[in-house]
C-alpha cells in the first residue's frame, strides 16, 4: 500500500489485543490475516488478492488505450525519465511497473538532479 501511496495503519495483532479481537470478531471468531478494513465505506477484505485490493481502492491496472508507440518496462527513475521525454514529443507512452510507479524514488523524501527539476523534487 505504501508503494501505491495509499495511507494505511498497520496493526500487529500479536502486539495489540484490541486489534486481535477486532480481527476475530470480523471473521466469525477466526484469526485471519490480512484483514483489511477500508475506512471510506467501512467494508472489510479478508486475504484479498492484489487484484481485489486494487479494485476496491480504485486502482485500475488496465491500459487505457489498445495501442501505444512506446512501452517502458519499469517505472523507476530511468523509466519515468524515458516516458516523460517521449510523452513531451507526442509519443503515446505506457509505463508497466510491477509495484508503485517511481520505484524507490517514489517513496524517497527528495530527489536531486532529476531531469526537468534543477532544484530537486519530492519523490511522491
- Of 50, 46, 56, 1, the closest CA to residue 25 belongs to 46
pLDDT tens for residues 55-88?
888 877 788 899 999 999 988 878 888 998 999 9
Q: Which residues of the chain have pLDDT under 50?
A: none
C-alpha gyration radius of the chain: 19
CA distance 21 to 77: 42
What is the structure's pLDDT at 89?
96
CB 50 within 8 A of CB 61: no
CA distance 44 to 35: 7
- Total-model pTM: 0.58
CA distance 41 to 98: 27
Task: Please name the residue that has the C-alpha cell 480504485.
Answer: 58
CB 120 within 8 A of CB 112: yes
Amino acid at each position: 500500500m505504501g508503494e501505491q501511496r495509499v495511507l494505511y495503519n498497520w496493526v500487529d495483532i500479536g502486539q495489540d489485543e484490541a486489534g486481535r479481537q477486532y480481527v476475530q470478531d470480523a471473521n466469525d471468531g477466526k484469526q485471519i490475516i490480512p484483514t483489511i478494513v477500508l475506512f471510506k465505506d467501512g467494508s472489510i477484505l479478508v486475504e484479498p488478492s492484489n487484484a481485489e485490493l486494487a479494485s476496491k481502492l480504485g486502482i485500475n491496472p488496465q491500459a487505457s488505450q489498445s495501442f501505444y508507440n512506446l512501452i517502458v518496462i519499469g517505472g523507476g527513475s530511468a523509466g519515468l525519465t524515458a516516458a516523460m521525454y517521449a510523452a513531451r514529443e507526442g509519443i503515446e507512452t505506457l509505463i508497466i511497473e510491477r509495484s508503485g510507479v517511481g520505484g524507490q524514488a517514489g517513496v524517497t523524501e527528495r530527489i536531486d538532479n532529476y531531469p526537468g527539476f534543477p532544484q530537486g523534487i519530492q519523490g511522491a
